[in-house]
Structure 1
């Protein structure tokens, strides 16, 4: 009786095709508030060509999708061509590395991945427990202060712009902000909410909020020096 053959998994071997890979920072991409690892960045840290890493994910898609749906995306390049890549969740990213030889580059990437996903979990916890409650309190206070004003939308927008500036967050990027930024947003929203609640009318509301945030702005300016 013929023994069934085991599926042979090709190792991702560091080939040094990308120079100075150690200088590349390892960051995560947020998709619907879930941190994901970009196969292009994984390839850089492995010192491998991206096409090899991407092909392995495609060829063994069934393996990767046992622990979550693999998100495939396409991005336009400056050359006019397009590049396909995958965004892996935490378990999928670790699975990719189990298919790799345990070289110094792979071990270094494992450490960076553990740190990156750990920091993402901490930031998500601060977001849920501190930032979001203070965010809703702020915008509830603005709504009450606006008292039906047709300019209410701009009051919300101006407050958000001021908070984004303080935390160093781009518009629409709060969900992927780090732990420190989430904490700054949480404190800022709480201070702004207090100012909005104390406002006697809607006139000058934005200035009230700016004045309330000045102490935090000052502390952050000192920290940045």
Structure 2
């Protein structure tokens, strides 16, 4: 059985559903719901329990199923209400890990976005300066190429950033910080977008070099090592 518990975000808060807990405890789901309903005042001390009704297809036709979504404290409280079996302790461990993973991912996301936006604010300034100097380069082209540059430095595919492990996301965040600072400095110095791109490329690739491919699956890492590493150019 896969021990990794998936959480669901409800109104910016991680939740685990009662189906998953009942399955891990080896009890019927209706019994888990009964424990929640019979102790709703106590559960309420840890916040509002969210419920959802789903339609399930069965051999006897469609059936409605009520599911509870518990926050971290509520899920631990539910375990205290169940019999202390061999499954209870490992489930508590996996719940602790699941909520910890969520918090780490949430924090790295919150750290990442401001610096990403700051970089692209500076890229817009770079585009404005380029147009003032008679360049016909499109602003969208500049934004796209700086994103491609950072992805290439860390051997990332387009659209892969939201699913990065925390350590790699932190490195990409640092690349956004460095790139944003360099673009801002180049704009203030009156350097054109081509020179700015080369300055950013040199710094970002130097940052990524020690960890490039380190957090990738082994097959993808081997593919990177044999792939053509020609860098994108403006």
TM-score, with normalisation over the residues of structure 2?
0.61
- SS for the counterpart of 1:147 is helix
2:42 to 58, 63, 66: 63
Q: Which one has the largest radius of gyration?
A: 2
Q: Cα deviations across residues 166-198 of structure 1 (Å, max 9, x unaligned)?
A: 697996994x97533542442242244245444
TM-score, with normalisation over the residues of structure 1?
0.63
Shift of 1:71: 2.2
Is residue 2:168 matched to residue 1:187?
A: no
Alignment of 1:84-103 (within 5 A): 84-103=66-85
Shift of 1:106: 0.6
Structure 1 residues 173 and 29: alpha-carbon distance in aligned structure 2, compared to 1, 3 A threshold = farther
- Distance of 1:134 and 1:196 partners within structure 2: 13
Residues 169 and 177, structure 1, Cα contact 8 Å, conserved in 2 = no
1:219 to 198, 211, 217: 211
Shift of 1:156: 5.4
- Distance of 2:160 and 2:10 partners within structure 1: 12
Alignment of 1:10-89 (within 5 A): 20=1, 23-74=2-53, 81=62, 83-89=65-71
- Distance of 1:203 and 1:76 partners within structure 2: 57
Gaps of 5+ in 2: 132-136, 219-234
Gaps of 5+ in 1: 1-19
Structure 1 residues 201 and 121: alpha-carbon distance in aligned structure 2, compared to 1, 3 A threshold = same
Is residue 2:84 matched to residue 1:105?
A: no
Structure 1 residues 74 and 137: alpha-carbon distance in aligned structure 2, compared to 1, 3 A threshold = farther
Structure 1 residues 73 and 187: alpha-carbon distance in aligned structure 2, compared to 1, 3 A threshold = farther
Which stretch shifts more, 160-169 or 45-54?
160-169
- Distance of 2:148 and 2:33 partners within structure 1: 38
**Number of residue pairs matched?**
202
RMSD over aligned Cα atoms: 4.4
2:115 to 134, 137, 156: 134
